[in-house]
Structure 1
Amino acid sequence: MKTHVPRFAPYMSTPEIVWHYAQRSANVVVLLFLILPILAIIPLSFNENSFLVYPIHGFSFRWYHNLFTSTDWARAGANSFIVTPIATIVATVLGTLAALGLNKASFRGKGLLVAILISPMIVPVIVTGVGMYLLFARWGLAGTYAGLIFGHTVIAAPFVVVTVNATLAGFNQNYVRASLSLGASPVRTFFAVTLPIIAPGVISGALFAFATSLDDVVITMFIAGPTQGTLPLQMFIGIRENITPTVAALASIFIVFSSLLLITMEWLRSRSVARQVLT
């Protein structure tokens, strides 16, 4: 026999029940407000019409075909897949090392150093872009892949620092002491003990860095040469000069990719929390 479970506790008054439903309704409204503008772009990518407007006239994969066969889009995609992975790797290594150093050290001015390291997250990116252009032009890095990768690394590394530092806050240093006391070298201790435990935080930081680099327009606009534009920059140019649903097709791919990225980061976060509870 199925037992009936009351939806609300018997002691809840009518105003409390109304407040409960009001909160649920507000959550739904906020969710729709945030999600609908993003989801609205996906149907436009299948529009047979040549304009980014509703209503949609016909269903077609024409713009996805144009995305994968256009020379401009292919070059931008190649640039993104050259710059983004390298910038992500460099940012992850540097950010992880910085977080480890900050976590172990205690010195005067540590707060100021942390603020400087994460300043690219806080300073308007247009200011960072102008500063990089002036500096890189003097160094001969403007218009080069090295300069572009360096620029993306600067804006991506702070996310790794913050994420790994947060993971290290719950790290039990007794594991490191035990490993060292058993004769393991600091390097072996790091790779055998520390890194496996903080790996979810490192991977989450790397994913944030990857997304930041892949999404960048401003730094690329200042640093990249004429043939070094990335996919976001090509999207910006496409919207400014020749608006077609090809932009919507790429945006739809980015939406799917970002959703998978978000799911992965949430899974890693929950795994990291569970591991810290166990340790």
Structure 2
Amino acid sequence: MALPVYADPLERIWYYTYRVICALIFIFLIAPILIIMPLSFNVEPYFTFTSEMLAFDPAGYSMRWYDNLLTFGTAAPDAVRDSSWWADVWANAKWVQAAKNSIIVGFFATIVATVLGTIAAMGLSRPEMPYRKLIMAILISPMIVPIIITATGLFFFYSKIGLSGSYFGLVLAHATLGIPFVIITVTATMMGFDRSLIRAAQNLGAGPVTTFFKVQLPLITPGVVSGALFAFVTSFDEVVVVLFIGSHEQQTIPRQMWNGIREQISPSILAVATILVIFSVCLLAVVELLRRRSERMRGVTPG
């Protein structure tokens, strides 16, 4: 909001002071990310800025660490980059294997979390639902309880039923962490849903299934997709649960980064972090577009 022309000197001081404070907080939050990105182009295997980088000398910058993401673990990293080389990368490169595991686990965990979270949110949004607050608190507890406690409980539970070290158990564990995000986003969308549309569909002879797919789902789709994106990001970034219940073959990107920090410090980790930051920004942009679309569908003017 612009400063009004009739503002007194004290209001003008606070107006500019408030913006300076917001800018400093923004810089404090974004500074670690802004530092990681240029360091991922360092030609030297250091986690600090070299004199060439500070002088903006092109010789101090390189794409070697991004290239290392494709060659680390391959049988012939220096071979001619033809179809056989790419096949070697697809089959043996450790970072590529970690990315495939993260995408596969995240995809199926997102499907499970979205379906179960949407069903739970629809029930919690009904006014006649008993003990709604208690049930909501239980369902979103994985988001509140420290992840180390959740991971420990999952480890002992999965060890008893034989799911520890399996992809199915890993998918269920990641879905458990993603369900609260789906419930919150879909419930918020359902709060602005006009229930008279459901009654009108029922009066016209539509059954519960038809009413859901033809009336409810199209209107709450932005909230469902937003919850699914949050569930996918939660699964994609999770490392503690994977360390507890994942086997050695189930290396996801966060676990591979953790192993790289412990075993071999390499700026390749910074390259992966930069890619993940760009990926997260794109997802947040999609979530914001969906939020605005949801507001337009509900007749709410974005502020």
Tell me if structure 1 keeps the 8 A contact 2:154–2:173.
yes
Q: Which residue of 2 aligns with 1:11?
A: 6
- 2:23 equivalent in structure 1: 28
1:124: which partner in 2? 146
Contact 2:36 2:273 in 1 (8 A): yes
Is the CA contact 1:167–1:201 (under 8 Å) kept in the aligned structure 2?
yes
Equivalent in the alignment of 2:76? none
Q: Would you say the 8 A contact 2:202–2:211 is kept in 1?
A: yes
Contact 1:221 1:229 in 2 (8 A): no
1:10–1:82 Cα change, 3 Å: closer
- State the 1:14 CA deviation: 1.2
- 1:15 positional shift: 1.4
Q: Which stretch of structure 1 is more off in the superposition, 234-243 or 204-213?
A: 234-243
Query: Which residue of structure 1 aligns with residue 262 of structure 2?
Result: 240
2:299 aligned with 1:277: yes
Runs of 4 or more, structure 1, over 4 Å off, are none
The aligned amino acid for 2:63 is F
Q: Do the aligned residues in 2 keep the contact of 1:207 with 1:265 (CA within 8 Å)? A: yes
Structure 2: where are the runs of 5+ without partners? 54-58, 73-92
Query: Partner of 2:162 in structure 1?
Result: 140
SS at match of 1:243: coil
Cross-structure match for 2:192: 170
Alignment of 1:165-204 (within 5 A): 165-204=187-226
Cα deviation digits, residues 81-109 of structure 1 (max 9, x gap): 21010000110011001111111263442
Q: SS of 1:219's equivalent?
A: helix
Q: Considering Cα pairs closer than 8 Å and 6+ residues apart, tell me whether 1 or 2 has the greater RCO.
A: 1
Bigger shift: residues 263-272 or 211-220: 263-272
Pairing 1:30-69 to 2, within 5 Å after superposition: 30-55=25-50, 56=53, 58-69=60-71
Q: What displacement does 1:206 show?
A: 0.3
What is the DSSP-based 3-state SS (H/G/I as helix, E as strand, rest coil) of the residue aligned with 1:114?
Answer: helix
Q: How far, CA to CA, are the matches of 2:5 and 2:68 in structure 1?
A: 61
Deviating more after overlay: 125-134 vs 100-109:
100-109
Select 1:113's aligned residue among 135, 160, 172. 135
Please tell me the residue identity of whatever aligns with 1:46. Answer: F
Q: 1:105 to 1:9 in 2, by over 3 A?
A: closer
Alpha-carbon displacement from aligned partner over 1:129-187 (angstroms, at most 9, x marks no partner): 00000000001000110111011010011100111001000000111111111111211
Cα distance in 2 between the residues matched to 1:260 and 1:174: 36
- Residues 33 and 179 (structure 1), Cα distance of their counterparts in 2 relative to 1, 3 Å cut: same
CA RMSD, aligned part only?
A: 1.5
Superimposed CA distance per residue, residues 26-54 of structure 1 (whole angstroms, 9 cap, x where no aligned partner): 11111111111111101111110012112
Q: Could you tell me which amino acid in structure 2 is paired with residue 16 of structure 1?
A: E
Q: Measure the CA separation in 1 of the matches of 2:255 and 2:131.
A: 38
Q: Does the 8 Å contact 1:91/1:156 carry over to 2?
A: yes
Q: Quick one: distance in 1 between partners of 2:291 and 2:177?
A: 22
- In the alignment, the residues of structure 2 paired with residue 278 and residue 160 of structure 1 have an alpha-carbon distance, to the nearest angstrom, of 22
**Do the aligned residues in 1 keep the contact of 2:108 with 2:171 (CA within 8 Å)?**
yes
Equivalent residue runs for 1:73-112 within 5 Å: 73-104=95-126, 106-112=128-134
Please name the residue that 1:223 is paired with.
245
Question: What SS does structure 1 have at the residue aligned with 2:293?
Answer: helix
Q: How far apart, in 1, do the equivalents of 2:5 and 2:115 lie?
A: 56
Can you give the 5+ residue segments of structure 1 that lack an aligned partner in the other structure?
Answer: 1-6
CA deviation digits over 1:228-259, x for unaligned, max 9? Answer: 02001111111122111100001000010111
> Partners in 2 of 1:199 and 1:68 — Cα distance?
37
Q: Equivalent residue of 2:275, what SS?
A: helix
Cα pair distance change 1:278/1:248, threshold 3 Å: closer
Count of residues in Structure 1 that have an aligned counterpart in Structure 2: 273
